[in-house]
């Protein structure tokens, strides 16, 4: 037994009862308390187990068919969000039977006033669906061609190996040269043939892929979409933040004569953890010469001049304020 539902009232009825009651034409729903008039052609198989979900899906599909505006049609994002909120309010009213008559009147009025825009957006959606299906079909065809090309390439490679093997055996049988030399030369010839054939197959596949991509290109452009920004590649970590240490006050030597350094170059206990004597020497020289470019007297003088300039500015401001205050008192 198969049960059917009608989107007018969503009451379940078996298929035989639908044929018996509604075969002669429209008739009222036989469920007690339901006065809806039903038609046989509108009965369909139930999709969801919960009839409330079945009804909600139908209502949302019907509302979305009328309110099919796109974000690109609005001036700001707030306007688009307000539009979505209004559509959701109408949908909620229909789902929970709140002001159904007023809501249906709003739907009918909007559909009548914006019939051209609704039809245009519906056509755009149909074109998008067709373009997506065409692209998916092209991708499937391209995958099938790749699989077929891989199978043919494998068969060609197997055939070339067999032919090369037979040629090597024939040369060994009819020649007095070294067999190892003949085998090496034969393998080189087979490798060259395989490489040339593989390169030709790759070029052919690239041409086919380009033709498929051009054929599956969309036939229209949607206006108002935001440009897609590609994420920036992660840069290599630089612990100095771009600062380059220039040893202008010293010159690093390849080696330094010191008993401990000589021992560290060959001691496994020191070198096991990745210790580098050259890095130690470079760091030591840099720390030793780090203060050579710092002149404390000049820094102190600059600091004192800056402090004197700030003090003079504050004194002038205080004097100006006092003068203005005395003038106002006199007035």
Choose the final residue of a domain: 99, 116, 133: 116
pLDDT on residue 218: 43
Residue 201 sits in the same domain as residue 134: yes
Domains of the chain: total? 3
Answer yes or no: is 268 within a domain: yes
- Measured between alpha carbons, how far is 277 from 253 in angstroms, rounded to an integer? 12
Start-end of H helices in the chain: 15-22, 51-66, 77-95, 100-113, 115-174, 179-215, 259-264, 268-271, 277-288, 296-330
Q: Residue 327: pLDDT above 70? A: no
Domain finish residue from 93, 116, 139: 116
User: Using one digit for the tens of pLDDT, what is the confidence trace for 89-113?
Assistant: 999 999 998 999 999 999 999 999 8
Q: What is the pLDDT of residues 222-263, one digit of tens each?
A: 344 455 567 777 777 776 666 565 556 778 888 888 888 888
Structure tokens at 330: 């006199």
Q: Which of 128, 145, 127 is nearest to 210 (CA)?
A: 145
189-196: average pLDDT: 73
Q: Looking at the domain assignment, is residue 232 inside a domain? A: no
* 12 and 108 co-located in one domain: yes
- The answer to whether position 286 is within a domain reads yes
Do both 10 and 87 map to the same domain? yes
Establish if 253 belongs to a structural domain. Answer: no
Residues 210 and 288 in one domain: no
Q: For 167, what's the count of Cα atoms within 13 Å in the CB-facing half-sphere?
A: 15
pLDDT (0 to 100) of residue 247 = 57
pTM for this predicted structure: 0.43
Supply the range of the domain harboring residue 312.
259-326
| Residues sharing a CB contact under 8 Å with residue 135, sequence separation 6 or more, in sequence order | 216
Q: At residue 10, does pLDDT exceed 90?
A: no
User: Looking at the structure, do residues 9 and 91 belong to the same domain, yes or no?
Assistant: yes
* Residue from 145, 126, 152, 147 nearest 213 by CA: 145
240 assigned to some structural domain: no
Position 226 in a domain = no
Specify whether 51 is located in the same domain as 112: yes
Q: Most distant CA pair in the chain: distance in Å?
A: 130
Answer whether residue 227 is part of any domain: no
**For residues 257 and 281, is the Cβ–Cβ distance under 8 A?**
no
């Amino acid at each position: 037994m198969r049960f059917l539902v009608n989107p007018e009232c969503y009451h379940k009825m078996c298929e035989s009862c639908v044929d018996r009651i509604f075969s002669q034409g429209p008739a009222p729903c036989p469920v007690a308390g339901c006065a809806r008039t039903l038609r046989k052609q509108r009965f369909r198989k139930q999709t969801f187990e919960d009839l409330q979900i079945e009804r909600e899906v139908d209502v949302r599909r019907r509302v979305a068919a009328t309110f099919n505006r796109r974000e690109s049609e609005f001036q700001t994002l707030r306007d688009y969000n307000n539009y979505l909120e209004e559509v959701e309010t109408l949908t909620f009213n229909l789902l929970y039977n709140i002001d159904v008559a007023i809501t249906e009147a709003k739907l009918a009025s909007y559909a009548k006033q914006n019939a051209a825009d609704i039809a245009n957006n519906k056509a755009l959606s149909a074109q998008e669906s067709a373009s997506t299906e065409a692209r998916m079909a092209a991708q499937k065809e391209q995958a099938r061609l790749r699989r077929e090309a891989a199978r043919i390439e494998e068969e060609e490679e197997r055939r070339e190996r067999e032919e090369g093997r037979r040629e090597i055996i024939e040369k060994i049988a009819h020649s007095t040269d070294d067999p190892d030399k003949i085998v090496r030369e034969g393998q080189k010839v087979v490798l060259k043939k395989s490489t040339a054939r593989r390169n030709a197959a790759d070029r052919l596949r690239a041409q086919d892929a380009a033709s498929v991509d051009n054929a599956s290109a969309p036939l229209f452009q949607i206006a108002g979409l935001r440009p897609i920004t590609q994420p920036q590649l992660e840069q290599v970590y630089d612990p100095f933040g771009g600062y380059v240490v220039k040893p202008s006050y010293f010159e690093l030597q390849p080696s330094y004569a010191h008993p401990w350094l000589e021992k560290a170059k060959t001691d496994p206990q020191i070198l096991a953890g990745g210790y580098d004597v050259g890095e130690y020497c470079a760091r030591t020289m840099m720390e030793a010469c780090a203060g050579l470019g710092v002149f404390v007297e000049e820094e102190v003088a600059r600091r004192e001049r800056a402090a004197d300039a700030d003090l003079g500015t504050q004194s002038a401001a205080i004097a100006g304020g006092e003068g203005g205050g005395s003038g106002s008192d006199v007035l």
